């Protein structure tokens, strides 16, 4: 009996995925490249701003004032804010706007901030990039947050 109710609930909750098409890997790769290029450009601007505020002429590529910890904090916080902003823009980043894709949840019609936060935290694992290899169907940040990237 419990299995019967589970199947009904799965059918009820998954209705919104029935008319969506999952994005191909090359579109996902384009999203990745556009998003990370945007993140590093924003992180560089934040680094220049931090250097201007602290009046120490701090730049990312300035060899005599290289501070790897500050670089890591700036890039990580920029990455966190950039990908958490998907929540505000209805599951879209700059890369997803350009490729006309968006993130949807497997079970819910609306994606909560908790899901985007979980998705962003999974992206911060350095080997998450390798989960995109051809042997896997989806990335870790999709698999463990129960999300999928679909065409808009």
At 48 the pLDDT is 81
Q: Does 3 have pLDDT greater than 70? A: no
Confidence of residue 13 (pLDDT cuts 50, 70, 90): low
pLDDT in tens, 40-96: 999 889 888 877 777 655 555 555 566 778 788 888 899 889 988 888 898 899 999
Cα distances (Å, whole numbers) of residue 3 to 17, 68, 73, 85:
21, 53, 47, 37
Average pLDDT of the residues in 112-130: 82
Q: What is the pLDDT of residues 83-113, one digit of tens each?
A: 888 888 988 999 999 999 999 888 777 788 8
Given the structure tokens 């950039």, which residue do they identify? 82
Q: Is the pTM of this model over 0.95?
A: no
Q: What is the mean pLDDT of residues 138-146?
A: 79
Tell me the average pLDDT of the chain. Answer: 77
Separation of alpha carbons 56 and 117, rounded Å: 33
Structure tokens at 123: 């992206």
For residue 129, which phi and psi values (nearest 5 degrees)? Answer: -60, -35
Token pair belonging to 116: 């985007």
3-state percent helix, strand, coil for the chain, nearest multiple of 5: 60, 5, 30
In the chain, domain spans: 2-151
Q: Residue 139 has which token pair?
A: 């990335």
- The kind and range of the H/E element at 150 are strand 147-151
Residue 19 has pLDDT above 70, yes or no: no
């Amino acid at each position: 009996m419990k299995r019967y109710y589970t199947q009904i609930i799965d059918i009820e909750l998954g209705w919104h995925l029935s008319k969506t098409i999952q994005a191909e890997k090359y579109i996902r790769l384009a999203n990745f490249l556009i998003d990370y290029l945007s993140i590093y450009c924003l992180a560089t601007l934040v680094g220049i701003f931090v250097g201007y505020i602290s009046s120490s002429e701090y730049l990312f590529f300035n060899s005599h004032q290289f501070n790897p910890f500050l670089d890591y904090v700036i890039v990580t916080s920029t990455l966190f804010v950039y990908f958490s902003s998907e929540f505000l823009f209805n599951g879209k980043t700059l890369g997803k706007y350009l490729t006309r894709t968006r993130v949807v949840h497997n079970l819910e019609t609306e994606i909560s901030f908790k899901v985007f936060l979980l998705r962003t935290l999974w992206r911060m694992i350095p080997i998450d990039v390798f989960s995109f290899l051809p042997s896997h169907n989806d990335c870790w940040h999709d698999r463990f947050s129960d999300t999928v990237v679909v065409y808009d």
